Amino acid sequence: MSNAEERLPRHPAASQRSESQDVAAAADLLRGHGLRSTAQRLAILQLFQPGQGTGASADHLTAAEIHDRLSDLGNHIDRSTIYRTITKLANLGVLNTVAQRDQPVSYGLAAHGQHHAVCTGCGTVRTIPPSRLVSALVALRESSGFRSSELRISVHGLCDDCSSR
């Protein structure tokens, strides 16, 4: 493994966790940002934990999808509470947002070095693992001597499904 790979952060999905570990991780995340661990906040954050089956949008969900998935799980949280909660979590950097033209904003757990491929056709958001960008960062450093301290990439285009239509 190269030094560049060692320094890249691992995405939370890289490890398998039990449901109780997911709740504990969500509670720790909230406490780390000075927030109380309310049932609503924990329920919302748990949707983004590994293994929660976030569906076609990979690890990003719109506010409506969050509401629907919580309802499917028996957590009936008012839409206004969901909007207030995800706005607060996004403002604190707990959730990241992906906004695109003609699509609702989607939210995902913020992770240092997280990059996205965004479909402009259907709105699907996929996370690009940081390890996939190691060679590009090494090439940048070798060609220019530049060392990045922060990197966020959003690639916009068409997913396989939309490009085959």
pLDDT in tens, 90-137: 888 788 888 877 888 889 887 655 677 888 888 888 877 777 777 877
Q: Is 3 helix (H, G, I), strand (E, B) or coil?
A: helix
Poorest-pLDDT segment among 12-26, 41-55, 115-129, 132-146: 12-26
List, in order, residues 6 or more apart from 77 with CB less than 8 Å away.
Answer: 40, 43, 44, 67, 70
pLDDT for res 121: 87
Residue 52 has pLDDT above 80, yes or no: no
Q: Could you tell me whether strands 115-119 and 154-157 are parallel, antiparallel, or unpaired per DSSP bridges?
A: parallel
Angle between helices 63-72 and 79-91 (to 10 degrees): 120
Q: Where are the domains of the chain?
A: 13-163
Q: How confident is the model at residue 9 (pLDDT cuts 50, 70, 90)?
A: very low
Angle, CA of 42, 55 and 121, to the nearest 5°: 120
For residues 19 and 27, is the Cβ–Cβ distance under 8 A?
A: no
Phi, psi for residue 108 in degrees, rounded to 5:
-150, 165
**Residue 142: alpha-carbon gap to chain centroid:** 30
78 is in an annotated binding site: no
53 is in an annotated binding site: no
**Structure-block tokens of residue 86:** 């995800």
pLDDT for res 161: 92
Q: How far is Cα 47 from Cα 24, in angstroms, rounded to an integer?
A: 14
159 is in an annotated binding site: yes
Which spans in the chain are helix H? 3-7, 19-32, 39-46, 63-72, 79-91, 134-144, 160-163
Q: How confident is the model at residue 58 (pLDDT cuts 50, 70, 90)?
A: very low
Write down the mean pLDDT value for the chain.
Answer: 76
pTM of the model: 0.60
Provide the residue type at 6 as one letter: E
Domain formed by 13-163, architecture: Orthogonal Bundle (1.10)
As a whole number, mean pLDDT of residues 57-74 equals 86
151 is in an annotated binding site: no
25 closest CA partner among 4, 57, 52 = 52
